[in-house]
Structure 1
């Protein structure tokens, strides 16, 4: 009888581990989807500044020509509705 209990406990541990792995895979998949960039037309991206605001002073801009949120090549002098100025930006 003890062998059956040992076997059952091992099976239980494997099932618990499997559930944890599946949960981790789901979490990683959700994170990957959340990191997909938005199309430029969806954020109304334009190649010129808007009232002194431009990509180069945005917290999402990645020099020399990328963005954390917007897909494609980004002009440092461009602008979109996702603009968020850096704390030290002077516009």
Structure 2
């Protein structure tokens, strides 16, 4: 009988490659309010992309320069550890 292998989804591969998902971080993202946002330092925000990943591609980015989980303005060309790539 042929052995079946499970193929991880593209989402799992991308998240693992980006080193994004931790339970605490995702919990914070899911329940984020304006007063609960991370500082830029807590999010390890930077104004440059991480390879091909940038805020402009993140599901948490709010154009033109906002974020659902990071305080203050962010650049569409920036990146932080909360990065969440859309499917």
The two structures share one fold, judged by TM-score above 0.5: yes
Check the 8 A contact 2:32/2:69 in 1, yes or no: no
Q: How many residue pairs get matched?
A: 55
Distance in 2 (CA, whole Å) between partners of 1:73 and 1:66 is 5
Superposed displacement of residue 34, structure 1: 4.7
User: Helix, strand or coil: the match of 2:42?
Assistant: helix
Tell me which structure has the larger Cα radius of gyration.
1
Q: What stretches of structure 2 of length at least 5 have no aligned partner? A: 1-30
Can you list the C-alpha shifts for 1:66-89, whole angstroms capped at 9, x where unaligned? 0000001010000000001111xx
Q: Which runs of 4+ in 1 moved over 2 A?
A: none
Aligned to 2:53: 53
Root mean square deviation of aligned Cα: 1.4
More helix by share: 1
Q: Is 2:65 the partner of 1:65?
A: yes
Give the distance between the partners of 2:42 and 2:79, measured in 1 at CA: 13
TM-score, normalised relative to structure 2: 0.60
Q: Which has the higher contact order (CA 8 A, sep 6+)?
A: 2
